[in-house]
Structure 1
Amino acid sequence: MTARRKSSNYQASMPFAREPFKTIYVVQRLVTTILMVPIWALYYSVMPRRFRPRPSWSLKQIIAVNFMRRIYKVAELAGVTWSTRDPEASCDNKTLKETRFEWVDPLPEDLRTGIVVDSQVPFKRVGTFVWPKQKPPEIPDTAPSGDPDASDVVLVDQADIEANASREPIIGIFLHGGGYCHMSAHEQCGPSRIPRRLMQHKAFTEIHAVEYRLLQHAPFPAAVQDAAAVYAHIVRRHQRKPPASTKSPKSASSQTSDDTDNTKEIDDNQHFLSIDYDASATKNRKEVNEIRVRVNHAARFKGCKIFLIGDSAGGNLVLALSRWIRDEGILPPPDGLLLLSPSCDPAHAFPESPSSYVPRPHASTDYLVDTPEPRALLQRTFLGHNPLETMHSPYVSPASMRVLRAFYGDAFAASVEDLTIERLDTAEIERLRTMASAPATPVAEHPPELGAPLERSPTSLARPIIASPRGMSLFTDFPRTCIVLGDAERLEREVMKLVGAMERDGVEVRTVWVEDGVHDVLQMAWWDERVRDRVCASIEEWLRDVCES
């Protein structure tokens, strides 16, 4: 896989995107960076350790971070992308050594609701690279179907599953990083170091790495569509057939009622996948409870444990997919989220006014760059035809200050604005959980103009402004989450805002602190192997806790 120089809207507008300036800039940047390597090596070999970006860093780590930072600047200013592939191209399994390539059908029509629906972004089939290459025996086949509208579900008998409960598959859905414009799910691409390591440690039965559409191929919500298609495919492949005696679930209020006339026997062939309700209608408390009960009932027959895994921009996509699953209530929720240095505030490139832009921290200790203008161009292309206000949606920037203020009020937003890993102790978590939320505001029928006062709607999913359905808070009903984060990376503050908001809403969060760690250490082949081993051990411990609970 080679670097791509395909011109798209954001690339064409970059400062050095046009020839001959592009070639001149890229070549000089590469040459000068290579020439800097011996200078860095000599300087940091002679100087005391206290002069290093982090005293614990080796020469290899220092050189790698400095080298990557200069190369990433090329992407920011010249619009160069690398390690990408056409998401609509197939892959010959004979060329793959560790994975098998599979196509997943587009998201079924009965699941096309909420944020994933966009008249200008078509639903398409999705390629996945599945670890391991040989399918494990406990993974069921997908039934072949000549009907494109068929659900292709294999219902596994409940008795057979219960007899082999100890072998319930643990399935990972991996969404790679790369700022929505770089990288691929292919096994030879850098992000594949993450599923490779998790499979080597036998943490998962299978991991499906999703070749979702990057912004060069389709704007938001294409990536969410693709991730949702794979999630629905796995749910349908593994869902179990309930016993004939199983009753349909009741709402929380009807469970205490003597009136049982509406209770029906569940057909043996009924699929516990979709939950039929109008997501655009405002729900009262009784209806909300009924939705929650029925989703939980559907989860009982999921037939496997599903974990969503994402690094960097892939972590952003995991959060968006999880929110869609929760908001629409038509699929059972995942069992856990594994977020590796997740990007959770892309709206940082769109401050409320240019003068209010605050640079991200740790400029000297991370390889990520933070150039506002190119980032804004990239994110604007990501939005496509959607209004700029979409950037401040919980689906795109759940940890932005505007979103946090809208849901929790100024006091909470201020309390997490400078929150760091080191500060997040038990007392701080308890304080965040007891802080009051912002009062509810009237429903906004249309998104406000940029800079206008923000209103919070309970059901505004057709236009993704700052809203949450059925009056829920920002992270209500999100699954258990493990977040891996380095205290030397530029995303530390925004990820800690995410952690604070999740803790505020009662989500069980385990934070794996990588001391002196840069962005996305598990993807970094040149990072300290002992540190990466400790991170993986912490992830595996968390997985065991979730699966055994």
Structure 2
Amino acid sequence: MSEISNLSFHVKDPFSWGQHGKHTAFKFVPTLPRNKQVGVLDVEGTDAHKRVGTYIWPRDRCDKEYNDRDDVTLEDGTEPLVGITIHGGAYVHMSAEEKCSTSIIPKRLMESGLFLEIHSVEYRLIHYSAFPGALLDVASVFDNLINERKVPPSRIVIVGDSAGGNLALALARFIKDERHEDTPAGLLLLSPWCDPSFSFPFNPTTQRRRPNEGIDYLMDTPVPRALIIESFIGCTSGTGQGCPTCTQQQSHTFIKRSLFKQRKRTSQQHNLLPDHISVHSPYISPASLHLKDEEDLFEDFPPTFISYGTAERLEDEIKVLIERMERNNVDLTTNVAEDGVHDLLILGFWNERQKDAIWNDIFNWSRDLSLKSIP
């Protein structure tokens, strides 16, 4: 209903101070310095957003560095993990606040005893910024953990559900492309939205449909969904159909590394390409069928855990994501929930036994990550 009516829920103003919660403390961290805004973040002009809000689990870790702790190591002698959680909500809903339904994810991860702390990012939704605003926000938190809180990158786990999984994939790609020496410990993806280009028809007379219609609660209303993606990528056509660059088969090829400056130069030379990122960029739609000839999409990605259900609307694109990661020899672990709907771990009404089985797999995977030594 919210998709059709163009309403948002559980949204927080990212520029305002957040309230401390029972388990969390709110803190602003500085936006990534301009000299570190490279690659896909290298956009002409100045981003006015100077700080990024985070909710830190637990609240007593708000101002501490990684080694400032009583429990120097876990019981098995390993160093604890630190999480960055990125909430879902199609880039229009939800918040990192403790009371939001998606916050069950950092809460359960903390209960595992494997994480020293978790930083839930209050990134900018499309109400406040088009791409790469949200990516800049999560990259800022990642950089702050390493350089201010002195967390070794090999202890950091990037976590995202639904649209948060899309943003987690983009952050992992940014690190791979521009900060390879800071490869994180792992990437935890829960029902990741990995092909927003699905919302744009390849042929204007043909509307593509996602699977499991009438089973999953996730809606796929064509025009509202396409308008969301247009807003996210900064397309100004406003028709819900995407611009020519969004729908042309080879539209992604002019941004080998998705650089805005390259895109602007190409636009000036040919007067065809708009001043926004392509919906088929691997930063936006890494499972896009238009990227099928890209052989190294996930080369050097960190160990990854993917969970999804066989009754969710994103099933097909997640399978493409898994296939591509396997082709690039990513250290991949998957959990497939039989008859599971989208992002079921945040649902209070879902089968607890099935949710517990998924959590147990996540905890086992996280434990394996924690056993790896710090380089």
TM-score range, shorter chain: 0.7 to 0.9
1:106 corresponds to 2:12? no
Partners of 1:105 and 1:337 in 2: CA distance: 24
Residue 22 of structure 2 aligns to a residue whose secondary structure is: coil
Report if the CA contact (8 A) 2:65-2:150 is conserved: no
Cα displacement (A) at 1:134: 1.7
Give the paired residue count. Answer: 331
Q: Secondary structure at the match of 1:337?
A: strand
| Cα distance between partner residues in 2 of 1:380 and 1:99 | 34
In the alignment, does 2:286 pair up with 1:398? Answer: yes
Q: Distance in 1 between matches of 2:161 and 2:27?
A: 22
State the 1:164 CA deviation. 11
Alignment partner, residue 213 of structure 2? 363
Q: Is 1:217 matched with 2:128?
A: yes
TM-aligned CA distance change 1:369 to 1:341, over 3 Å: same
Name the CA shift for 1:358/1:131 in 2 (closer, same or farther; >3 Å). Answer: same
CA distance in 1, matches of 2:291, 2:211: 20
After superposition, the Cα gap between the structure-2 partners of 1:121 and 1:519, relative to the gap in structure 1 and judged at 3 Å, is: farther
Distance change (3 Å), C-alpha of 1:200 and 1:77: same
Change (3 A) 1:506 1:91: same
The one-letter code sitting in structure 2 at the alignment partner of 1:78 is S
Q: TM-score when scaled to structure 2?
A: 0.83
Preserved CA contact (<8 Å) 2:79 2:370: no
Which residue in the other structure is 2:323 paired with? Answer: 500
Post-superposition offset of 1:90: 0.4
Distance 1:167 1:546, change over 3 A: closer
CA–CA distance in structure 1, aligned partners of residues 61 and 179 of structure 2: 30
**1:103, 1:127 within 8 Å by CA — same for their partners in 2?**
yes
Unaligned runs of 5+ in 2: 237-244, 252-277
After superposition, residues 348-387 of structure 1 pair within 5 angstroms as 348-384=198-234
Q: Which runs of 5+ in 1 are unaligned?
A: 1-73, 142-155, 241-301, 409-472
- Call closer, same or farther: CA 1:323–1:369 in 2, change over 3 Å: same
Larger radius of gyration: 1
The corresponding residue for 2:349 is 526
| Residue 135 to residue 187, structure 1, CA distance change in 2 (3 Å) | same
Instruction: Show the counterpart of 2:41.
Output: 116
Does the 8 Å CA contact 2:312/2:341 hold for their aligned counterparts? Answer: yes
TM-score (norm 1): 0.57
Aligned-residue RMSD, C-alpha: 2.5
The code of the aligned residue for 1:119 comes to E
Amino acid at match of 1:402: H
Give the conservation status (yes or no) of the 8 Å contact 2:80–2:114. Answer: no
In the TM superposition, what is the alpha-carbon distance from 1:378 to its structure 2 partner?
1.0
Match of residue 269 from structure 1: none
Match of 1:341 in 2: 191
Alignment partner of 1:483 is 2:306: yes
Identical positions, percent: 42
The answer on 1:324 being equivalent to 2:174 is: yes
The residue type equivalent to 2:58 in the other structure is P
Give the direction of change, closer, same or farther, for the CA distance of 1:163–1:483 in structure 2 (3 Å limit).
closer
Higher helix residue share: 1
| Aligned mates of 1:403, 1:303 — CA distance in 2 | 29
Between 339-348 and 536-545, the greater mean CA deviation after superposition: 536-545
1:326-364 deviation digits (Å, cap 9, x = unpaired): 111365111100000000000001132123432100012
Deviation at 1:168, TM superposition (A): 2.2
**What is the CA distance between 1:171 and its match in structure 2?**
0.4
Residue 294 of structure 2 aligns to a residue whose secondary structure is: helix
Could you say what secondary structure the match of 1:397 adopts? coil
Q: Is the 8 A contact 2:153 2:183 kept in 1?
A: no
Residue pair 1:340, 1:520 contacting (<8 A) in 2 also:
yes
